[in-house]
Structure 1
Amino acid sequence: MAIGVPMCVECGTRSNPCRCKVVGPTVGFLAFAAAALVEWPVGALVYCFRHMKGRRIMAHPATVVYPAVTNSIPI
C-alpha cells in the first residue's frame, strides 16, 4: 500500500513564467485542511445559536486561508 502526498497543480496562472503553480496550491491545501479541522466543529457549534456567524466560521478556510496561502507563494 502506497501513501501519497497530496499535490495540487494550478495551470494558466500569470504569477510566474512557467504559468503553472505546484507549491503554492499544495501548501494552501494543507493549510486549508489544518484550519478546517479546527474551524468546522467550532462553526457547527456556533451555527446552533447564530446561523450566519457559524456559516462564516465554517467558510473561513475556503474563502480566506486557502487563497491567502496559495497567492503568497508564486511557484
Structure 2
Amino acid sequence: MVGIGVPICVQCGNTSNPCRCKVVGPTLGFLAFAAAAVVEWPVGALVYCFRHSKGRKIMGHPATVIYPSVTNAIPI
C-alpha cells in the first residue's frame, strides 16, 4: 500500500534567516502553486485558443506570481 504524503520543499543557501535554509515557505508556495495551477491552466488553455499571449500569461501566473510571493512572504 502506498501512502500519499505532503511534499516538502527545502531551499538552502539563502540569507533570509540565520539557518540559511527555508522549509515552510517553499512548501506552502508549492501547495499554493499547485492549487492555482489546477484552476488557471485549463482556463489559460481555453483562452489560448483565441488569444495566444493572454492564454500564456494566465498559464504562467502560478509560476511567476503565486509561488514567489508565497515563498518570499514566509522567512522560515
Superposition deviation, residue 4 in structure 1: 1.7
Q: Is 1:28 the equivalent of 2:29? A: yes
Q: TM-score, normalised by structure 2?
A: 0.96
* Residue matched to 1:50: 51
Number of aligned residues? 75
Between the aligned partners of 1:3 and 1:56, the Cα distance in structure 2 is: 31
* Residue matched to 2:8: 7
Superposition deviation, residue 5 in structure 1: 1.3
Superposition deviation, residue 50 in structure 1: 0.1
Structure 1 residue ranges without an equivalent (≥5) = none
Between the aligned partners of 1:13 and 1:26, the Cα distance in structure 2 is: 15
Between the aligned partners of 1:44 and 1:37, the Cα distance in structure 2 is: 12
Instruction: Tell me which stretches of 4 or more aligned residues in structure 1 moved more than 3 Å.
Output: none
Q: TM-score, normalised by structure 1?
A: 0.98
* CA RMSD across the alignment: 0.6
* Residue matched to 1:19: 20
